[in-house]
């Protein structure tokens, strides 16, 4: 197990080196790498896929969803630029792995999952493993979780064709939103969105990625627009 975890960490470091000209850094935050080492990724995969838990690639978790590639989980956690006292919102709980990583970096994580079965399973899994500073809610992540806003950061683990305004509204001034932007089965870009003191929004494209789509209200709006303006 230790060898598998170390292999994963080495793979992440190699990916960072290969993409350094895109992500603008040669190393990820040591706190992030420590969390990647500590959280048992195999616990967040189906039993029949645990043999590949520490491979540097995504894996299916059922219901059409995936657990992200370790490098991407680490990179997004790093880009969020967290502090130990932060309160973070995650959109797209999935199996709970990204939330578990964040739980090691911040005071509290609120996570929204639209698929009820995944939300229930992730809640049970995180509690069983002792990640008591993560709260999971079944709901539409397009609207965030306004009851606990504003947040010190927001991380989205599904691709949206545009940045949901509600997530910007729930950010503290100076805080970051990390989100993949683009359509399913086409080019997507991981973006860092920062809310400035003057009310302006600064965006930065980091690198190309491939995520499952953000669903719910956003998906319905896209489908409606496509019906009115069908693509050719």
- Kindly tell me the burial class for residue 232, based on how many C-beta atoms sit within 10 Å of its own C-beta (0-12, 13-18, 19 or more): exposed
Nearest to 231 by CA among 166, 152, 161: 161
Instruction: Let me know if 186 is a catalytic residue.
Output: no
Q: What is the DSSP code string of the chain?
A: -HHHHHHHHHHHHHHHHHTHHHHT-SS--HHHHHHHHHS-GGGGS-GGGGGGTTSSS-EEEETTEEEPPHHHHHHHHHHTT--TT-EEEEE--TTSHHHHHHHTTSSEEEEEESSHHHHHHHHHHHHHTT-TTEEEEES-GGG--GGG-SEEEEEE-SBBSS--HHHHHTEEEEEEEEEEEE-TTS-EEEEEEEE-TTS-EEEEEEEEE--PBP-THHHHHHHHHHHHS---
Catalytic residue among 68, 95, 103, 111: 68
Tell me the catalytic residues: 68
């Amino acid at each position: 197990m230790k060898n598998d975890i170390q292999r994963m960490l080495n793979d992440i470091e190699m990916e960072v080196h290969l993409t350094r000209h895109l992500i603008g850094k040669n190393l990820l935050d040591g706190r992030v790498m420590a969390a990647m080492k500590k959280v048992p990724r195999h616990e967040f995969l189906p039993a029949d896929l645990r043999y590949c838990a520490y491979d540097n690639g995504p894996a299916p978790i059922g219901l059409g969803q995936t657990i992200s590639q370790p490098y991407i989980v680490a990179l997004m956690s790093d880009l969020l630029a967290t502090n130990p006292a932060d309160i973070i919102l995650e959109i797209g709980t999935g199996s709970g792995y990204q939330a578990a990583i964040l739980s090691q970096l911040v005071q509290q994580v609120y996570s929204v999952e639209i698929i009820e079965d995944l939300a229930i399973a992730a809640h049970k899994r995180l509690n069983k493993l002792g990640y008591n500073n993560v709260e999971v809610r079944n709901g539409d992540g397009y609207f965030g979780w306004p009851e606990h806003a504003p947040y010190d950061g927001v991380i989205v683990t599904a691709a949206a064709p545009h940045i949901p305004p509600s997530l910007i509204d729930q950010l503290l001034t100076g805080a970051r939103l990390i989100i993949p932007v683009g359509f399913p089965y086409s080019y997507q870009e991981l973006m860092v969105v920062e809310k400035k003191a003057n009310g302006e929004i600064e965006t930065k494209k980091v690198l190309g990625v491939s995520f499952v789509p953000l669903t719910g209200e956003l998906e319905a709006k896209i489908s409606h627009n496509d019906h009115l303006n069908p693509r050719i």
